[in-house]
Amino acid sequence: MLNLVLFGPPGAGKGTQSARIIEKYGLIHLSTGDILRAELAEGTELGIQAKTLMDQGLLVPDEIVVGMISAKISVNPQAPGFIFDGFPRTIAQAQALDVMLKEKNTQISCMIALVVPDDELKTRLLKRGIETGRSDDNEETIVRRIKEYQDKTTPVADYYGQQQKLHSLQGTGSVDDIFDRIVSVIEALPA
């Protein structure tokens, strides 16, 4: 089973590259950001609670996102593998994911971390905010999201680094070039 964690700061291109990876490898895409936005679109209590935090650039509590991912894994018993996009974002989430996958007799194959300078992240997210109206893509929230990433999420890369599963890639350049770098990592994984 191929189980990938796609990692990086807000705006690094996780959602963008996930779409390509799914198309090539047929994995099930689990994006906690997308799941939370879908909850909000349906007007659920969870979605409404999450929006308040997301609009402040803060992380949603671990137990909520862990529960969401666990439910999605359970409803996909025949999956050839998963791509985790925007999850795990804390060490507690990473530990919970290891437990969930162990119960299925599988594990994370590798983490692919996209490295992008802060200035480029801000430019991308402000552009997306203008183009799509996404409410957390505004100047103040972006600064907060990048800080949350630095404070709470960067240790997750060390967690996978200690397991020799971390692959850091340059996340700037064309979407196609970045995708080629990702494919090179996946193709070099042990079968």
Annotated catalytic residues are 14, 89, 128, 134, 145
Judged by beta carbon, residue 56 or residue 163, the one nearer ligand B4P is 56
Nearest by Cα to 94 from 62, 51, 55, 52 = 62
Judged by beta carbon, residue 81 or residue 129, the one nearer ligand B4P is 129
The rounded distance, in Å, linking the Cα atoms of 40 and 55 is: 12
Among 2, 4, 7, 14, binds ligand B4P (CB under 6 A): 14
Q: What is the largest CA-CA distance in the chain?
A: 44
Binding status of residue 48 toward ligand B4P by CB under 6 A: no
Binding status of residue 128 toward ligand B4P by CB under 6 A: yes
The rounded distance, in Å, linking the Cα atoms of 179 and 181 is: 5
The rounded distance, in Å, linking the Cα atoms of 28 and 74 is: 12
Give the pair of three-digit tokens for residue 146: 């990048």
Closest separation in Å from C-beta 97 to ligand B4P? 10
Asked whether 35 and 72 are in contact (CB, 8 A), the reply is yes
Among 15, 47, 81, 161, binds ligand B4P (CB under 6 A): 15
Binding status of residue 178 toward ligand B4P by CB under 6 A: yes
Name residues contacting ligand B4P, limited to 75-104 (CB under 6 A): 86-87, 89, 93
| Alpha carbon 184 to chain centroid, angstroms | 20
Nearest by Cα to 53 from 29, 6, 19, 89 = 89
Number of chain positions touching ligand B4P (CB under 6 A): 27
Binding status of residue 47 toward ligand B4P by CB under 6 A: no
Among 4, 5, 7, 33, binds ligand B4P (CB under 6 A): 33
3-state helix, strand, coil in the chain (%, to 5): 60, 15, 30
Among 60, 79, 112, 166, binds ligand B4P (CB under 6 A): 60
Residues contributing to the site for ligand B4P (CB under 6 A): 10-16, 32-33, 36, 53-54, 57-60, 65, 86-87, 89, 93, 124, 128, 136, 145, 175, 178
